[in-house]
């Protein structure tokens, strides 16, 4: 039989700190950075071929949506063309997802190197995933739009926090706007 070394009080406390009590959860620190942290949180240039799969991988972690087997088409347009597509004239639109057509992104945005611009593309990818998963398909169009935007902005905001961007997004429309408009 072997002898065990005496256990110090500090070692006992450290072991107790690591062992969760019944009904409690334990914590640990993962010292190895994830691919999400390495590729999306820096501004090293990424190609579209790298960027879309990386953002979809991030959404696999940030959202309830599974990673799709296909990528949406990405179209880059001059600001005026994008604004006409979205609003019919000048407006603050930076991007839009259109089912069956893909994502249309203002050509001034550089998601390959800018974190906020990357988050705009991620926001539109949320809409792509919502569409693939028929999210809120049973709602009236205005309520569906509202809930989808609310979710996309929340995920975009979480992404910006995780990648360490000092810029945040907010969403200020209220559900009650749907009561006022027959959409």
| pLDDT digits 0-9 by tens, 117-139 | 999 999 999 999 999 999 888 99
- Tell me, yes or no, whether 155 lies in a domain: yes
When divided into structural domains, the chain yields a total of 1
CA atoms within 13 A on the CB side of 47: 2
- Tell me, yes or no, whether 139 lies in a domain: yes
Would you state the structure tokens that stand for residue 130, as one six-digit string? Answer: 């919502």
- Tell me, yes or no, whether 127 lies in a domain: yes
pLDDT band, very low/low/confident/very high, at 19 (cuts 50, 70, 90): very low
- Tell me, yes or no, whether 140 lies in a domain: yes
Among 155, 83, 170, which residue's Cα sits nearest to residue 125?
155
Whether 182 shows a pLDDT value over 80: the answer reads no
75 is in which domain, residue-wise?
34-180
> What is the pTM assigned to this prediction?
0.75
> CA angle 152-98-169, nearest 5°?
25
**How large a percentage of the chain has pLDDT more than 70?**
70
């Amino acid at each position: 039989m072997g002898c065990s070394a005496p256990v110090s009080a500090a070692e006992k406390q450290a072991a107790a700190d690591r062992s969760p009590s019944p009904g409690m959860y334990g914590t640990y620190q993962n010292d190895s950075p994830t691919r999400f942290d390495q590729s999306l949180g820096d501004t090293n240039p990424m190609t579209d071929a790298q960027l879309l799969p990386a953002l979809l991988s991030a959404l696999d972690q940030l959202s309830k949506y599974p990673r799709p087997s296909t990528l949406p088409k990405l179209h880059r347009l001059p600001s005026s063309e994008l604004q006409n597509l979205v609003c019919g004239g000048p407006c603050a639109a930076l991007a839009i997802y259109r089912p069956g057509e893909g994502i249309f992104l203002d050509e001034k945005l550089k998601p390959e190197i800018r974190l906020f611009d990357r988050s705009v593309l991620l926001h539109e990818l949320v809409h792509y995933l919502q569409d693939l998963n028929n999210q809120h398909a049973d709602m009236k169009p205005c309520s569906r739009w509202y809930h989808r935007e609310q979710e996309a902005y929340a995920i975009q905001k979480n992404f910006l926090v995780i990648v360490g961007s000092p810029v945040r997004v907010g969403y200020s429309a209220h559900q009650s706007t749907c009561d006022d408009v027959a959409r």
